[in-house]
Amino acid sequence: MIYLDYQATTPLAPEVREAMLPWLVGEAEGDGFANPASPYRAGRAASVAVEMARDAVAALLPPGGRVFFTSGATEAINWALFCGARVKPGGVVGSAIEHAAGLQCIEALGGSLLPVGAYGLLPVPAADALPEGGIVATMLVNNEIGTIQPVAAIAEVAHARGSWMLCDAVQGFGRIVIPEGPDLIAVTAHKIHGPKGIGALWVRDGVALPPFMRGGAQEQGMRAGTVSPALCAGFGAAARLAAERMDADAAHVARLWDIALDELQGWEINGATGEGQRWRGNLNIRRDGVNATRLLSDARQVAFSLGSACGSGSGRVSHVLRAIGLSEADARSSIRLGWGRYTSEETLRAGLGAIKAAAALQGHI
Ligand code: PLP
C-alpha cells in the first residue's frame, strides 16, 4: 500500500511501539499489567508511566492548563461541549468546517455555524456573531483542506463575550505550535504516530468544566474509568518525538508539498496555500470532469481519500468543500492527499504516478 492519507491516521512510530510493549505484555518492572490506581509497587510504576505521558502531552500544549486523558478527540469534544454547555448556557457556535465530532455536538445542542471564506479560512467574527456566556468551537487545522484558522484572535473575541473557546487541535497538535487563547483543547494520539483509542482534553486553569464520566476517581475525578498505561505510554512517546522532530517533520512535509505541486500540474488546489495558512502535509485538489470515486478505485494501490475518514462511505459530498463554495460537481472531482514523517519522496512520486495514470483513464492527461 502507498499510504497518502495522513489526515485519517498515521503509522505507529517504532519508538512508540517500543514504549507501549512493556505495558501490553506485562514486562515493565515484571508487572506491567497492573492497574495504575493500585497502591502497591507495580500499580505505582504504572501510574508513573501515565503521569510521564501526561507531562509529555502537556509540553505540546500551552502553559497554564491540565491534561485529562480520554478515548480520543471525539470524546474530548463531546465532553467540552455537552458538559461545558451546562455551565455556559449562552449557546454554542462553531465554524462550518468543523470535523463531524464538533458539528454533530453543535447540532445536538441547537447551536449555529459560522461561514468560512472561499479559501477555507474563518474570518475573525464580530463580537455580536458570538454567543454571550456560551462556547465558541473552532478547529486549528482543517482535516480536509489543511487550512489553519486564526484561533488566538477568535479566542479573544469569545472571551470579550464571556464565552469559552474550544479548539479542536487534532490536525495541528505535534505539527505546529498550538496557539494560546483557547480554554479547552481537544487532541488525539493517532494523528502523531501514536496509538488509536487515546486522546486528551486540555483544560485551562480556572475553567470550571464539569466532570464527564462518573465512577472512580481517575483523572482527578474528571473522567472516571481505568486509564491504559500502554496507550498513555504510547501517546507520551509520540508527543516527545513530535516535540523533538517538529521542525524536521515540517521541513520534510514542505519538500513533499513542492514535489506534489510539480507533479500535479493541471489540478486546482482547494483551500488557502499561503505561508502559515495551510499545513503542507495536506493537498486537497480537484480537476474538472474527474470522477473522484472512480479514481479511488482505479488507483487502488494508493491509500488516499475523498474527504474525512469519518464521512467516507456516507456518499455525501464533503461539507467542507461545500462550505468553501465548491459546487457538488467540483466537490465530487476532488481528492485529499496527505503525507508526513514516514512518506519518502519515492513513495509520494509512485502514488502520484498511479493517481495520474488513473486520471488518464478518464481522459485527463
Ligand atoms: N477532529 C479532527 C479534526 C479529526 O481529524 C479527527 C480525526 O479523525 C477527530 C477530531 C476525531 O479524533 P478521534 O479519532 O481521536 O476521535
Q: What is the pLDDT of residues 81-96, one digit of tens each?
A: 999 999 999 999 999 9
Q: Are residues 152 and 195 in the same domain?
A: yes
Question: 225 and 322, same structural domain?
Answer: no
What phi, psi does 7 have (nearest 5°)? -80, -25
State which residues form the domain around 148: 14-240
Please tell me the predicted confidence (pLDDT) of residue 334: 97
| CATH number of the domain within which 107 lies | 3.40.640.10
At which of 205, 240, 275 does a domain end? 240
Atom number, ligand 1, closest to the C-alpha of residue 98:
3
- Mean pLDDT of the 294-322 span: 84
Q: Tell me which of 223, 240, 257 is where a domain ends.
A: 240
**Residues in Cβ contact with 221 at an 8 Å cutoff, skipping those fewer than 6 apart:** 211
In this structure, are 19 and 55 located in the same domain? Answer: yes
Looking up cell 485529499 gives: 336
pTM of the model: 0.97
- Angstrom distance (rounded) from CA 327 to CA 330: 5
Residues 185 and 295 in one domain: no
- Whether 249 and 235 map to the same domain: the answer is no
Question: Does residue 251 contact residue 37 with C-beta atoms inside 8 Å?
Answer: no
Q: Residue 335 pLDDT > 80, yes or no? A: yes
Q: How far is the CA of 66 from the centre of ligand 1 (A)?
A: 20
Read off the pLDDT band of 313 (50, 70, 90).
low
Share of the chain above pLDDT 90, in %: 93
Question: Given the CA of residue 168, which atom of ligand 1 is nearest to it?
Answer: 1
Q: Is the pLDDT of residue 28 over 70?
A: no
Considering 205, 224, 240, which residue would you say is the last residue of a domain?
A: 240
Between CA 191 and CA 199 the distance in angstroms is: 10
Question: Any idea of the CA torsion for 194, 197, 198, 200, to the nearest 10 degrees?
Answer: 120
Which residues lie with the beta carbon below 6 Å from any ligand 1 atom?
72-74, 99, 101, 139, 143, 168, 170-171, 188, 199, 309-310
What is the predicted pLDDT for the residue at 29?
58
Residue 308 has pLDDT above 70, yes or no: no
Give me the pLDDT at residue 251, please: 98
DSSP for 95-113, written as a single string: ETT--HHHHHHHHHTT-EE
Q: How long, in residues, is the chain?
A: 365
Residue 310 has pLDDT above 60, yes or no: no
pLDDT > 70: what percent of the chain? 96
Q: Is the pLDDT of residue 34 over 60?
A: yes
CATH code, domain with 261: 3.90.1150.10
> Taking 90 as the threshold, does the pLDDT of residue 345 lie above it?
yes
Same domain, yes or no: 277 and 223: no
3-state secondary structure of 201: strand
Using the mean position of ligand 1's atoms as its centre, give its distance from the Cα of residue 318 in Å.
Answer: 16
Cβ 146 vs Cβ 284: under 8 Å: yes
Q: Are residues 20 and 69 in the same domain?
A: yes
User: Do 306 and 189 reside in the same domain of the chain?
Assistant: no
Atom of ligand 1 nearest to the CA of 189: 15
Angle between helices 229-263 and 41-58 (to 10 degrees): 30
> What is the distance between the alpha carbons of residues 89 and 101, in angstroms, rounded to a whole number?
20
Residue closest via CA to ligand 1's atom 5 equals 143
Q: How far is the CA of 9 from the centre of ligand 1 (A)?
A: 9
Name the domain count of the chain: 2
* pLDDT at residue 275, as a whole number: 92
